[in-house]
Amino acid sequence: MDEKASGFSLEMPKVGVIRGVKAKDVELVGGKVVNLRICARPYSNIYSVTQLRAIKTVSEQYGSGKVHLSPRHNFEIPEIRNKRIDDTLKLLYVAGLFPGGAGTSVRNIFTCPDWCSQSVLPTQEIGKMISTNFGDRDMPNKFTISFAGCVNGCSRPHNADVGIIAVGKVKVAKGNCADQCNKCVEVCPRQAIEKNGGKVLLKEKNCNFCGKCVKACPQNILTFASTGFKVMIGGKEGASVAFGSVIADFVKDFELLEIIENVLQKYQEKAKFRPASQKKKERLTEVIERLGLESFLAD
């Protein structure tokens, strides 16, 4: 469509200035083609059919007909003809897709899909809340935040710079149940529930707060007494793998945001260049290894 003839005008997003996203999201290959990494803004890691159509069109018309879905749910469209990058960005922009998710910034927040039956809290809504507050922020090095809807951790929170898991404390209505279905006992992975006649006994020290028994109970006799977030920091994937350390448990939304903000600020203040480099700064896990967790969190 001719924009001028139709009266349609669009302020073109320029690579390098879109919501703090840098030119690093566009990789120039041999001066002729670019590889483009994109994400949805406002945040979602569930893509609509309209967005998928836009990606298909771009890939077919300006690229090589290939796309890749990255581990953090960014789409990568390789080999877009350099001359068509403006057309590409315009088409994606209209569909709510922007270059992003690379380099030394808070990468795409990685969450579970909304519809998983095991989810203790609404994953996409919380992913959006985290992304709105911290997404794309410039950092000393790559920074990953992953949120899982339950302790199964499918979005790999244990190996993220900040890993968040939704957890739920279980309660038994009136402390007993006449039903003999025994589903709660069967699904519990930690032998934390016993059925003794009409009595349901919870052994909290065995419980990992996964919520499976609540989901399985057909009579709503088991419910959540409270839900919240477990927070881990300093996890990492890649050439050297690290598991995050738990720094908070059963915190609520606002506390979670405060904790993440504090960790990001401390990381920005305390990260140094790696010993052999004046270009690359430490990842969070390296800062924590150097200082110790307590000193890292101290003012």
Footprint on this chain of ligand SF4 (rule: CB under 6 A): 112, 116, 118-119, 148-150, 152-154, 170, 177, 179, 181-184, 187-188, 190, 192-193, 195, 200, 202, 207-213, 216-219, 221-222
Q: Cβ 256 to ligand SF4, closest distance in Å? A: 17
Q: How far is the CB of 169 from ligand SF4 (least distance, A)?
A: 8
Q: Compare residues 81 and 169 and give the one whose CB is closer to ligand SF4.
A: 169
Q: How far apart are the first and last CA of the chain?
A: 56
Q: Residue 1 or 178: which CB sits closer to ligand SF4?
A: 178
Nearest to 233 by CA among 205, 199, 262, 275: 262
Cα–Cα distance measured from residue 13 to residue 262, given in angstroms and rounded to the nearest whole number: 31
Given its phi and psi angles, is residue 29 left (phi above 0), alpha (psi -120 to 50 degrees) or beta?
beta
Q: Which residue's CB is nearer to ligand SF4, number 149 or number 228? A: 149
Beta pairing class for 110-111 and 145-148: parallel
- CB 106 to ligand SF4: min, Å: 21
At closest approach, how far in Å is the CB of 180 from ligand SF4?
7
> How far apart are CB 46 and ligand SF4 at their closest, in Å?
12
C-beta separation of 172 from 200 below 8 A: yes
For 288, residues 6+ apart whose C-beta sits below 8 A from its C-beta are 233, 234, 245, 296
Residue with Cβ nearer ligand SF4 (154 or 291): 154
Of residues 26 and 150, the one with the C-beta less far from ligand SF4: 150
Angstrom distance (rounded) from CA 116 to CA 143: 26
